Amino acid sequence: MTSLSALFRSFFKIGLFTFGGGYAMIPLIEAEIINRRGWLARDEFMELLTLAQSSPGPIAINTSVFIGYKTRGVAGAAAAVCGAVLPSFICILVIAIFFAQVRHNVVVDAAFKGMRPAVVALIVVPTIALARGMHPALIVVAVATALAVWWFGLSPIWLIAAGAAAGILWTVKLGKEVRR
């Protein structure tokens, strides 16, 4: 059985070494939860990740809640969330205290500029991982959706709702075909 302290430590480590937000955490969460700890199968992780992306709130927090709950119930969810949030909270608190002193520091500015490419890579990796095994037509739909948001400024909310409706209609249609 997964211990609460192991959940806390794992998500604390993920939160501590991830810059760039929730999407940048996904490869680290995957490596820790699936490869290192073996708490979930890859398919289960992808389902939880899809659920986390669909739920309101930050994806890293949602993912930690779902993984913690899946492994140890409500106490596991609380331990995982605390572990994921605490490093950022401490970092922001320290930055807030000292920000005025370092905001024009050349070294700090250079460090953040240097981290940008790594953050972009950490966001691209889970995108590619989610696309593996998808039908090519669905990849085209994903790219078209991304372009619609980027170029035309369409709200992702409407596109997600349209995708959910299309998925439901598709499943209903397939269900009718299977019954024939």
pTM for the model stands at 0.58
Q: Is 120 helix (H, G, I), strand (E, B) or coil?
A: helix
pLDDT tens digits along 112-161: 788 888 888 878 887 888 788 788 888 888 889 989 998 999 898 898 89
Q: Would you state the pLDDT for residue 65?
A: 92
Per-domain boundaries in the chain: 4-133, 136-180
What pLDDT is recorded for position 9?
94
The pLDDT tens digits for 58-110 are 888 899 999 999 999 999 999 999 999 998 889 888 878 887 777 788 888 88
Chain centroid offset of residue 106 CA: 31
Alpha carbon distances (Å) from 33 to 15, 17, 65, 116 = 14, 15, 13, 25
Residue 179: pLDDT above 60?
no
Asked whether 17 and 81 are in contact (CB, 8 A), the reply is no
Q: Which residues contact 81 (CB under 8 A, 6 or more apart)?
A: 11, 61, 64, 65, 68
pLDDT at 6: 93
58: amino acid identity, one letter: P
Residues 6+ apart with CB under 8 A from 148: 154, 159
What's residue 131's pLDDT? 81
* Residue-level pLDDT at 18: 75
